Chain A
């Protein structure tokens, strides 16, 4: 057991950002914390990294402070050259200079930063800063590597490099990579366990609305369409073509009696099959060329007065359709 969290609560003012009765994370198993903005992912990573303390409960870590490191979403780079930044953690560990540079070179080369190693980080772009911070975290080879949205805001062309580096790190013996992300595809491709966080609570709901489909070009070149059996068609925002697995977060699906005129590109007409309570929400199953789950609050349910058999429109954005692989 790498991390063992018991009765952990973290509040900011009156708001409870995180409430985890129990969470255990095993050594060597990559885990992805998935959830919408403000769901407590970053708070959890800060607790795991030992940078923050819970208001209640305890976070038990089987290693010492040098065994865990966090790469933040908006990383701070020291007022020094890129190379100095990259090896800062190794310096804190007393690794000799020649060894530090030998470790940094292959990593920075793969991340396309080796040529800029002597430049001060102050002038770096967002994407470069994120890659530099990732190198600074990866180089440590810590037992627990915590990554906050590692795939967000990367320069084009580097997403695959970064993902490959993370997947390799997760595959090394004795390493555990814990990632907070919006991108479920990464979890899927890494074979990571998914921990779903909703408003600071664990939700034991792994993936919903998972469909095998065929992604094809559409009339508009900027988007593609996914053909889902038996007869549904979604607009998706992806670069993939051909057979794929997609997933739609049930919380991203809006239900209405009239078609909604909005920026969302998907508005499917369907019929309510069933509606049942699931935790604090209502799981409405809509048959719209495929079986689509939509989670709505009991209040919305009461307001709409949805009944099985009603004709409804299910609306969701093209970006709500996650292409898993």
Chain B
């Protein structure tokens, strides 16, 4: 117990003194996960629109594939991107492995199905009159889908935040694709893993506290947006 308290005290010290290495780790985590989720959102919301509003064979199948991939193990996502980026892979010549880009690519693969499935579920439950009204006022097919997205935009934020929550704390893909290189590809989860194994509990704990704070803020934000969305419906 004394050991834990001691570690907590040093962790608080590291956090309040804004330890440069710690700050760098937090910044990298935010930058990698933030860009991965932003891109997954840009790709995922239109994809969700296709799954909900377009009519093509295999639509239902794709939808359940996306639902299944929501629980894709992060090491499998890591392996997938690894096979593309490694020397023998399709993009091997570009030497992208063990870089923040590779980490973001892995996180993109993890976040995409979550964003697609949650957005699709939300769009499916949107007021059917939105699309109907847009169509009868002369909107083209895609403009009318855009109208539904616009009208339900508050409800789409939880999908993005859920995607962020998934990738911000995952360790498998980041470790495989980033390689946990100090001051380059070391993010919060990989740093925690390595610090713990090196016996630096205080540093690991400080990072854990940052992770928990981030998780808490994300949950609070999801709750806030959900309430907003429910009020709008």
Contacts and interface: CB of A to CB of B under 8 A. Distances in A.
A pairs with B: yes
A50 B147 CA distance: 18
Contacts of B134: 88, 92
B129 A69 contact: no
Interface string A126-146: 000000000010001000000
Nearest to B140: A92
Interface size class of B (residues with CB under 8 A): 10 to 19
A79 interface: yes
Which interface residue of A78, A122, A136 has the most chain B CB atoms within 10 A? A78
A140 B129 contact: no
A79 B133 CA distance: 13
A89 B140 CA distance: 11
Contacts, number: 47
Contact of A76 (B129, B140, B150): B129
Interface in A65-104: 65-66, 68-70, 72, 74-76, 78-79, 88-89, 92-93
A92 B138 contact: yes
A49 interface: yes
B133 A93 contact: no
B141 to A, nearest CB: 10
A72 B138 contact: no
B67 interface: no
A70 B130 CA distance: 13
* A74, A79, A93: residue with the most chain B Cβ atoms closer than 10 Å: A79
A65 B137 CA distance: 9
A89 B129 CA distance: 15
A56 to B, nearest CB: 20
A72 B136 CA distance: 10
Interface in B167-225: none
B147 A69 contact: no
A89 B137 contact: yes
B137 A92 contact: yes
Contact of A92 (B139, B151, B232): B139
A113 to B, nearest CB: 17
A51 interface: yes
Given A65-B138, A66-B138, A79-B151, A92 B133 contact: no
Given A78-B133, A92-B137, A140-B137, 8 more contacts: A51-B135, A66-B138, A70-B136, A72-B129, A72-B132, A75-B129, A79-B150, A89-B138
7 contacts: A51-B136, A74-B129, A75-B133, A76-B130, A78-B147, A79-B151, A140-B138
Interface of A: 49-51, 65-66, 68-70, 72, 74-76, 78-79, 88-89, 92-93, 122, 136, 140
